[in-house]
Amino acid sequence: VRDSLLKGMLGADIVGFHTFDHARHFLTSCKRFLGLQYHSRKGGTLMIDYRGRPVLIAVSHVGIEPQLLKERTASIQVKQMAARLRDAARGKKVIASVDELQRLKGI
């Protein structure tokens, strides 16, 4: 399962993390379990070559505005949508992401 999860993540062009520590643990796991090497490129970007293509490892701190989030999640429309999503995903694992350019749209 572990190898499949790592390989699945490496299927993306960019794998992002909130902190450098999280990225470092991911890179170490790719090296230890998949035998992959990572390296830094000009400008300090981290890359892993996977199946003949580069995968960018990004670190991007994502903050939230608690009051705005509280207000938005209190609306009836959001509550109804959340209930539909919970029903649709019942018994499944859901992985969410944050879009780099539109941080709240990717959730």
For the stretch 83-89, contacts whose Cβ atoms lie closer than 8 Å and that sit 24 or more positions apart, written own/partner, are: none
pLDDT at 8: 94
70: DSSP letter: H
pLDDT for 25-63, tens place per residue?
A: 999 999 999 999 999 888 778 999 999 999 999 988 767
Greatest extent of the chain over all pairs of C-alpha atoms, in Å: 49
**pTM of the model as a whole:** 0.60
68 against 96, higher pLDDT:
68
Q: Structure tokens of 47?
A: 């890359």
Q: Measured on CA atoms in the order 8, 10, 13, 15, is the torsion positive or negative?
A: positive
